[in-house]
C-alpha cells in the first residue's frame, strides 16, 4: 500500500477521534505504511481578534509515540494560516503547497490522498494524486455563513467528481451522497480493550449520581436549552456532567454553569472509559436536525461498551437501538426521562457481542486505500 497523506478536520491531540483511531490501527496492521497527518492550520490573527492566545503552527514533525506504531511511520504537519481567507484568497493554495513540500521532504513520491477536510480539494487539484474523500459530517447541512457555505459546496462538488473513492461514516450520508457515485460505508467503532479493565473514579467528578455526556461541547450538536432543563430536572438526584472539548461562546457557557452543569473540558482518550464507567446514566442531549442526522456518533459504541443506561434524543445511531438499556426521548420528555433514570437503582450490563472495533473498521478502510494504490510500474 502507498504512503498516505491525510488532510484532517481535526488536530492530532489527546482527544482521539475517528481519524486517530483509524490511522493507528492501520499503522499497526502494516509496519511498512507511512502516514502524513495534516492538521488544521492555526490562524494567529483570528485568535488575536477573538481575544485568544495566538500561536503559529508547529510545522512538520514526527508523530507521538504510540503503542504498536514504529518510529517514522507517523508524521504530523501543522502549517500557519498567515491571513484569514477573506484577506488572502490564495490561503488554501499556500497551505496545499506546504503540504506538498512536506510530503517531498519525508520521501513521499505518489502518495494516496485521504481527504477529510474539504479544503483538501485544492491539494488534489494541484497534484492529481489518487484520492478518497472521507465524509464524516454533512457540513452542507450545518449552519454556516453564506460565504463559507458556498466554499464548502464548491470544494465538496470538486471532491465528489474527482476522487476515485468516497467513504462515508453513516447510513444517512450514504443515502445523500451516493447520487454523485458509489460510496463505501465505514462506520465508527470503539476500543473494547480500554473498557475491559477496572477504572478508578476520576478525581474531578463530584460525589453522588451523575448524568454524563462525552463529546465535543458545541452548538452544532448540543442542545444548550435542553442541557439547562435537564440539569434543573435532576437537581436533588444528581448532576449533569459534560466531558469534552469546550467550544462554546461565553454566553452559552455561563448559561450551563448557572444551571449547575459541570464542564470538565477535554480529557485524554484513554481516560474517557473511566468517566463513562462511573456515570449513573449516560445522556445524549443533541439537537435533532439534518446535520445531526448525518452523524455516526462514536459515543454510540463507547456507551455500549460502558454498559450504563442511556437516555438520548431521537438522533441517528441511538434511535436504531432502543431497548431496556436505551431510552429514546424527544426534547420535551428528555429531562423527565433522565430524572427517572437517575432515580433508578444503579446497574451495569456490559454486552459487547457485535460491537465493532477500530481494528475491524481499519481493515475496511485499508481495502479502500489498496484500491487506490498505483500498480508497480
> What is the topology classification, in CATH, of domain 192-343?
Rossmann fold (3.40.50)
Q: Indicate the DSSP class of residue 65.
A: P
Predicted structure pTM score: 0.93
Confidence class for position 309, pLDDT limits 50, 70, 90: very high
- pLDDT value, residue 149: 86
Q: Burial of 331 by CB count in 10 Å (0-12 exposed, 13-18 middle, 19+ buried)?
A: middle
Q: What whole-number percentage of the chain has pLDDT above 70?
A: 98
Summarize pLDDT for 338-347 with one digit per residue, the tens. Answer: 999 999 988 7
Confidence class for position 5, pLDDT limits 50, 70, 90: very high
> What is the topology classification, in CATH, of domain 4-189+358-372?
Rossmann fold (3.40.50)
Please count the other Cβ atoms lying within 10 Å of the Cβ belonging to residue 304: 23
β pairing state of 74-78 and 59-62: antiparallel
Instruction: Answer whether 327's CB lies under 8 Å from 342's CB.
Output: no
Mean pLDDT of 292-297: 92
Instruction: Answer whether 351's CB lies under 8 Å from 307's CB.
Output: yes
Please count the other Cβ atoms lying within 10 Å of the Cβ belonging to residue 14: 12
Confidence class for position 129, pLDDT limits 50, 70, 90: very high
Instruction: Answer whether 92's CB lies under 8 Å from 119's CB.
Output: yes
Q: Where in the chain is the domain with CATH 3.40.50.2000?
A: 4-189+358-372, 192-343
Amino acid at each position: 500500500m502507498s504512503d498516505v497523506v491525510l488532510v484532517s478536520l481535526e488536530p492530532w491531540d489527546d482527544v482521539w477521534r475517528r481519524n486517530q483511531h483509524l490511522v493507528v490501527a492501520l499503522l499497526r496492521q502494516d509496519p511498512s505504511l507511512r502516514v502524513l497527518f495534516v492538521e488544521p492550520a492555526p490562524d494567529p490573527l483570528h485568535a488575536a481578534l477573538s481575544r485568544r492566545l495566538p500561536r503559529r503552527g508547529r510545522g512538520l514533525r514526527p508523530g507521538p509515540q504510540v503503542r504498536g506504531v514504529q518510529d517514522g511511520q507517523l508524521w504530523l504537519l501543522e502549517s500557519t494560516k498567515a491571513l484569514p481567507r477573506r484577506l488572502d484568497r490564495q490561503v488554501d493554495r499556500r497551505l496545499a503547497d506546504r503540504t506538498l513540500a512536506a510530503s517531498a521532504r519525508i520521501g513521499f513520491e505518489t502518495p494516496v490522498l485521504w481527504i477529510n477536510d474539504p479544503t483538501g480539494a485544492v491539494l488534489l487539484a494541484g497534484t492529481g494524486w489518487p484520492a478518497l474523500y472521507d465524509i464524516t459530517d454533512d457540513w452542507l447541512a450545518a449552519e454556516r455563513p453564506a460565504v463559507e457555505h458556498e466554499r464548502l459546496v464548491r470544494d465538496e462538488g470538486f471532491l465528489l467528481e474527482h476522487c476515485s473513492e468516497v467513504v462515508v461514516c453513516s447510513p444517512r450520508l450514504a443515502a445523500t451522497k451516493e447520487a454523485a457515485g458509489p460510496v463505501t460505508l465505514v462506520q465508527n467503532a470503539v476500543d473494547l480493550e480500554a473498557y475491559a479493565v477496572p477504572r478508578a473514579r476520576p478525581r474531578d467528578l463530584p460525589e453522588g449520581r451523575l448524568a454524563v455526556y462525552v463529546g465535543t461541547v458545541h452548538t452544532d450538536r448540543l442542545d444548550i436549552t435542553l442541557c439547562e432543563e435537564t440539569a434543573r430536572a435532576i437537581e436533588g438526584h444528581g448532576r449533569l456532567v459534560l466531558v469534552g472539548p469546550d467550544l462554546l461562546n461565553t454566553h452559552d457557557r455561563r448559561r450551563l454553569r448557572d444551571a449547575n452543569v459541570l464542564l470538565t473540558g477535554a480529557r485524554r482518550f484513554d481516560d474517557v472509559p473511566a468517566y463513562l464507567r462511573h456515570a449513573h446514566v449516560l445522556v445524549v442531549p443533541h439537537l435533532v436536525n439534518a446535520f445531526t442526522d448525518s452523524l455516526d456518533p462514536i459515543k454510540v459504541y463507547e456507551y455500549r461498551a460502558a454498559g450504563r443506561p442511556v437516555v438520548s434524543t431521537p438522533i441517528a445511531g441511538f434511535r436504531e437501538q432502543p431497548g431496556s438499556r436505551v431510552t429514546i426521548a424527544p426534547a420535551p420528555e428528555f429531562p423527565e426521562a433522565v430524572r427517572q433514570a437517575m432515580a433508578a437503582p444503579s446497574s451495569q450490563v456490559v454486552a459487547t457481542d457485535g460491537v465493532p472495533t477500530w481494528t475491524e473498521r481499519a481493515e475496511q478502510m485499508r481495502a479502500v486505500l489498496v484500491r487506490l494504490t498505483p500498480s508497480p510500474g
